[in-house]
Structure 1
Amino acid sequence: MFYWLMKYVVLGPLLRLIFRPQVEGRENVPVDGPAILAGNHLSFSDSIFMPLMVKRKVTFVAKAEYFLGRGLKGWLTKMFFVGVGTIPVDRSGGKAARAALDTQLAVLRAGGLAGIYPEGTRSPDGRLYRGKTGVARLALESGAPVIPVAMLNSDEIQPPGQLIPRLGRVRIRFGAPLDLSRYAGMVGDRFVERAITDEIMYELMELSGREYVDVYAQRVKDRPAVAATGGPGGPGAPADPGGPRSPVPV
């Protein structure tokens, strides 16, 4: 109830009026049945603007820290994410991360839409980073189609760390569903999961026009001193001896 109230009565109309979202390819989202919306992640507002443009409910996962904040801001943040049906995920990995994927798997098996950011965190500099294979496992186990979603300028509207968004027209592009049927029955094969993830990231690169860097975004965030100097893993630095490159389309 809170989700639909926010979307169609409280936030939705206001955000549409102020930010005038421009959307391409919305017809690629099925009107019913399960599907995975896999997007690049540029801004906190991605999880607000993208679901706003889809008529159906989109269930996301979000880092557990959003549910653990203190004070009024922490409480409001927690209530917002709980109200819109967001699933907390412990990004330390292991069984906790698996539990979040299982929950999204249940959403898909019930015929719903699951939203996921394959990069696992927001891009530190607007580039597209190496995807984690959770999205591939979700696709293989559910059999649901994957629809790549490119947020084109949300980092300009609300840069990381900025609380109040800037005025501007939000632009979003939904790609065609990816046909992954050739991988049916290959659940648990890590090479297949990597191939699927790279295929998704390639489509996101094509849709978004963003430079791809073959390293995990969190690795860059965890090395701020190196990143600031442009050293290994930092902006402008090669991701590996071969340098930044595109994920290989399969």
Structure 2
Amino acid sequence: MGVYDLTRSSTRGLIAGLCRPTVVGLQNVPTGGGFIVAPNHLSFLDSVLVQALMPRPVAFFAKAEYFTGTGFKGALMRSFFQGVGSIPVERGQQAASVQALKTLLGMLEAGDGVGIYPEGSRSRDGLLYRGRTGVGWLALTTGAPVVPVGLLGTDRLQPADRRWIRPQHFTMKIGEPLYFDKTGPNHSLPARRQVTDAIMDAIAELTGQQRATGYNKSAVE
């Protein structure tokens, strides 16, 4: 068993033992080929939870600072995030965002699973915010199926103003995959917007969250 499989298996066992999560819809994850996981975002821990509980590996981005820390704590964080398959990215820079999408594009074309939060950063008030169109760009460019995921209760694991994690029950609902025509990178912005809105509608159906009319302006996690 490799480092990735060992870290993922250990994390899954820890989550199952401490949180007793309810996971619905595992059969909706494609068994082969590239796929895009699109969850709502309530907690710093969401990526780790999805990565651990999905039946196939899913790569999410994580702040580059998690990979560059010093000392024992820095080494531990770097080892963990590398172990669960996270990809370092510099946040808040347009060039970095473009490169991030290109990285995901390459992984999808290689047949891997990738995760992207359409909302961008986590919701601190529980609302489901308008989706940013990067997920629509990926779906149309690659033709990869999009698997909507609804996370409920993960915000209670580590509230925004708390440093420590508190084991709590949460639910992960995996919706049926959404398929969109592959157009390549030369598609229109309205087409990208339409696809993104369809993905957000699917997430909202899974979570039952109240919808916000605009984008999430909170600080990027």
TM-score (norm 2): 0.90
Q: How does 1:39-118 map to 2 (within 5 A)?
A: 39-69=39-69, 72-118=72-118
Distance 1:108 1:199 in 2: 20
Q: Secondary structure at the match of 2:60?
A: strand
Distance 2:161 2:187 in 1: 37
Q: What amino acid is the match of 1:78?
A: R
Q: What amino acid is the match of 2:189?
A: R
Q: What amino acid is the match of 2:20?
A: R
Q: How many residues align?
A: 219
Q: Who is 1:14 aligned against? A: 14
Q: What amino acid is the match of 2:82?
A: V
> Which has the bigger relative contact order, CA under 8 A and spacing at least 6?
2
Report the alpha carbon displacement of residue 221 of structure 1 after superposing the two structures with TM: 4.2
Q: What amino acid is the match of 1:14?
A: L
Report the alpha carbon displacement of residue 85 of structure 1 after superposing the two structures with TM: 2.2
Q: What amino acid is the match of 1:162?
A: R
Distance 2:161 2:68 in 1: 18
Report the alpha carbon displacement of residue 46 of structure 1 after superposing the two structures with TM: 0.8
Per-residue deviation, residues 6-41 of structure 1 (Å, max 9, x unmatched): 122x32212211111211111110111111000011
Report the alpha carbon displacement of residue 185 of structure 1 after superposing the two structures with TM: 5.0
Q: Secondary structure at the match of 1:38?
A: strand
Per-residue deviation, residues 82-103 of structure 1 (Å, max 9, x unmatched): 2222112233242211111111
Q: What amino acid is the match of 1:3?
A: Y
Q: Secondary structure at the match of 1:79?
A: helix
Distance 2:3 2:169 in 1: 26
1:137 touches 1:187 (CA, 8 Å); kept in 2? no
1:27 and 2:27 matched = yes
TM-score (norm 1): 0.80
Q: What amino acid is the match of 1:164?
A: W
2:25 touches 2:174 (CA, 8 Å); kept in 1? yes
Q: Which range is displaced more, 73-82 or 14-23?
A: 73-82
Q: Who is 1:214 aligned against? A: 213
Q: Who is 2:204 aligned against? A: 205
Over the aligned positions, Cα root-mean-square deviation in angstroms equals: 2.0
Q: What amino acid is the match of 1:123?
A: S
Q: Which range is displaced more, 162-171 or 34-43?
A: 162-171
Per-residue deviation, residues 218-248 of structure 1 (Å, max 9, x unmatched): x2449xxxxxxxxxxxxxxxxxxxxxxxxxx
Q: Who is 1:170 aligned against? A: 170
Q: What amino acid is the match of 1:47?
A: S
Per-residue deviation, residues 128-157 of structure 1 (Å, max 9, x unmatched): 112111111111111101010011110022
Identity, % of aligned positions? 43
Q: Secondary structure at the match of 1:121?
A: coil
Q: Secondary structure at the match of 1:129?
A: coil
Q: Which range is displaced more, 167-176 or 87-96?
A: 87-96
1:33 touches 1:111 (CA, 8 Å); kept in 2? yes
Q: Which range is displaced more, 69-78 or 142-151?
A: 69-78
Q: Which range is displaced more, 80-89 or 118-127?
A: 80-89
